[in-house]
Chain A
Amino acid sequence: MAEFLAYLIAGIATGAIYALAAIGFTLVWQTSQTINFAQGEFVMLPAVLVLLAIKLFGAPIWLGALIGIAAFILIFGVGFKLTIVDPMIRHGVLPLAIATMALSIIMKEGAKDGFSAEAQKFPSFVPTETISVFGAAISLQHVAIIVVAFGVIGLLQWFVGGTKLGRQMQATAQNPTVARILGIPVERMVLLTFVINAALAVVASVLISPIYLAKFSNGEVIGLFAFIAAIVGGFNQVRGALVGGLIVGIVDSMAAAYISTSYRLAVPLLLLVVIILVKPEGLMGRKEERRV
C-alpha cells in the first residue's frame, strides 16, 4: 500500500507537469489549429532563460527569474504567434506543424550552443525534504508541484468559465466564425491563448527544473508525453488535457513499477493507440463536427 501510494504520488506529480504542457497544447490547437511539436521545448526553455539571465546580468534569482520569464512569454507567446503562426497558417495546418518541428530544433540547439550542453542546477523554492504518509515517503517537491499545478489549472478554469474575457476566448476556440459575428476580437483572443500557453509552460518549467535539472534535451520526453496526454484526454478540451496528463503520468509510473523499466515508455504509447482505435476523440473529447 505504502509502495503503491509512493508510485501514485510520483505519477501524479509528473502527470501534473504533463497536464500543464498538454493544456497549452490543446488551447493553441483549438484557437489556431496549430499542432505545436515544440511544446516540450517550451517547457525546457524558460528555466534555461532564467539561468541565462542570472548569468548574463549577474542578477539575483528573483530578478533573473523575472527577466527570463518575461522574455520567454514575449518571444514564445507573442512572438511565436506573430512571426511564425500568422504568416504560415495561410499555407495550411501541415506546413505550420512542420515549422514547429524546425522551431523545436532551433530552441533545443540554441539552448545548447547559447547556454550550455550540460545540465545545470535550478533553484528550488521548496525544501527538498520528505514527509511520511501512511509509511510512504512523499517528497515535498512533489507535493508542491501538485498543489501549484492544480492551483494554476483551477485559476485557468475560473478564467475561462467565470470571466468575460475567458468566455470570449472559449467562444473563439469553439467557433471563430460565430465569435467574430458576435463582435469578439478574435485575433486578440487567439493571441491570448498563445500567451497563456507560454505562461503555463513557464509554470511547468519552474516546477520541474529543480528535479530534472535545466538541460536543452529535457523537452523531448515532456513534449512526447504532452502530446500523448492531449490525444488520450481529448484534443479539444482543457479538461481532457488535464485528465490525459494525469493518466499518462500515473500509467508511466506504474509501468516502471509493475511492468518493466525498459519498456515503460511503451505502455503510455499503447494506451494512445488503443484510445485512437476505440475512442478517437479522446476520453473527454467531443466529436468534431466542423472541418472540411
Chain B
Amino acid sequence: MTAPATHGATAPVARRLPLPAFVDGTLLTLVAAAVILWFAPSGMGRYGTYVLSLWLVMSVAVMGLNLTLGYAGLKSLAQAAFMGIGAYATALLTSKVGLNWYASFAISGLLTFAVGLVLGFPALRVKAHYLAFVTLAFSTLIWLVLRNEQWLTGGVFGLSNIPRPSFFGLKLDGALAFHRFVVVVTFLLAVVLWWMIRSPWGRAFTALRENPIRAASLGIDTRMYTLLAFAIGSAYAGFAGALYAPLVEFIDPSPFSLSQSFFLLLMVVAGGAGYLLGPFIGALLGVVLPEWLRFAGSLYLIIFAAIVMLLLIACPQGMSGLLERGWTKLTGKKEGAR
C-alpha cells in the first residue's frame, strides 16, 4: 500500500523520473486488493460486509476529492453534496423512473461533472481559493433543497426501497453479491484514475499543484486544468453516490451535509493527499475506525480528528507519506547493513 503514484513536494527529483516500477506497483496493489476484497467478507457476516462495501464507496468519493485537493490543490467543500446529487439522481432514476442502474450511474457522473464545471468556472475565474467559498455555499444550498423539496426528494423523510442493480440477469440483492459488485466498480474507477494521473494530462495537474505560476509560464492553461480536475473529482463523488444509494437502500439528506464534506476532506488528508492509494487509507480511518474504537464510544471522532491534526503537524503527506517514510528508512537500513 506504500507505493505513491506521484511524489509529493518532498521529492522533486524523483518526480522527474518516469518511475514505471512504482506505477506498476500501484496497479498491482489495486489488483491484489481487489482480489482480496472479493473474498474478504467470507465469515464476516452481513454487517462486516456492509462496512467493507461502505468503506469502498467512501473511498471513491475521497478519490475524487483527492484529485481535486491532492493533485490540483483546490479546496472543495461540496464533495458530500455532489455525492448527494449522485445518490438522489440514482435513487430517483432507478426507483421512480425505472431506469437501470448502469444508465443512472452514468447520468449521476455526467450530472455532477456538469455541475462541477458550472460551479467551478466562475469561481476559478477569480482565484483558486474562491472555489472553497462557492462550494461551501453550494453545499448548503443543495442540503436545503434536499430537505425542503419533498415532492422530489422525499424531504426529511428520505427515499426508501432503492433497488439494487443486477449484472447480466444476475441479481445482486444479497450483501455479498453486492459487495463484489462494489469491489469491481471501485477497482475500475481506481484504474481509470490511475491511468489519468499517469497520462500527460495528469502530470499537468501535478505541475499545477507544485507551482501554478511556473505551470502557467510553461503554457499550461491552468484554468482549464484546474476546472477539469474539479469537475472530474466531483463526478467521482457522483459515482460514489450512485453506489451509496443502492448499498444503503435508503437515503435522506443527513449524510450529504456540509460537515460531511469537511469530514471527507479530512479523510483525504489523513490518507495522504496526492497519493493514489491514500483515499483508501483515509476512508478506512474515517469509516472503519469507529468500529475499532467501539469501546471509546463517541470519542472516536475526537480521536480521528486528533490523528489528522498530528499527521498534519508531523507528516503532511498523511498516512501514505508516513508509510513511505517508514519504507525508505527500512530499505535504507537494509542497504546500510549490507
Instruction: Name A's B-contacting residues (CB within 8 A).
Output: 35, 37, 84, 87-88, 91, 93-99, 101-106, 109-110, 112-113, 220, 224, 227-228, 231, 262-263, 265-266, 269-270, 272-273, 276-277, 280, 292
Contacts and interface: CB of A to CB of B under 8 A. Distances in A.
B162 interface: no
B306 interface: yes
Given A94-B75, A262-B144, A277 B122 contact: yes
B298 A112 contact: yes
Nearest to A291: B127
Contacts of A35: 129, 132
A106 B312 CA distance: 15
A194 to B, nearest CB: 17
Contacts of B140: 224, 265-266, 269
A266 B258 CA distance: 14
B299 A98 contact: no
B133 A88 contact: no
Given A87-B313, A220-B259, A98 B266 contact: yes
Interface in B306-335: 306, 308-309, 312-313, 316
Interface string B196-234: 000000000000000001000000000000000000000
Contacts of A105: 262, 266, 301-302, 304-305
Contacts of B269: 95, 98
Contacts, number: 100
Contacts of A102: 266, 305-306, 308-309, 312
Interface residues on B, range: 35 or more
19 contacts: A35-B129, A35-B132, A98-B266, A98-B308, A99-B309, A99-B312, A101-B262, A102-B305, A105-B305, A109-B301, A109-B302, A113-B299, A224-B136, A263-B148, A269-B137, A269-B141, A273-B134, A276-B134, A280-B127
Interface string B48-88: 00000000000000000000010001010000000000000
Nearest to B300: A109
Given A109-B298, A109-B302, A266-B141, 4 more contacts: A98-B312, A102-B309, A231-B133, A265-B140
B185 to A, nearest CB: 28
Interface of B: 69, 73, 75, 122-123, 126-127, 129-130, 132-134, 136-137, 140-141, 144, 147-148, 213, 258-259, 262, 265-266, 269, 298-299, 301-302, 304-306, 308-309, 312-313, 316
A260 to B, nearest CB: 9
Nearest to B148: A262
A227 B313 contact: no
- Most chain B Cβ neighbours within 10 Å, of A103, A105, A113, A273: A105
B312 A91 contact: yes
A106 B309 contact: yes
Nearest to A90: B316
Nearest to B268: A98
B201 to A, nearest CB: 22
A266 B144 contact: yes
A224 B259 CA distance: 11
Nearest to A83: B313
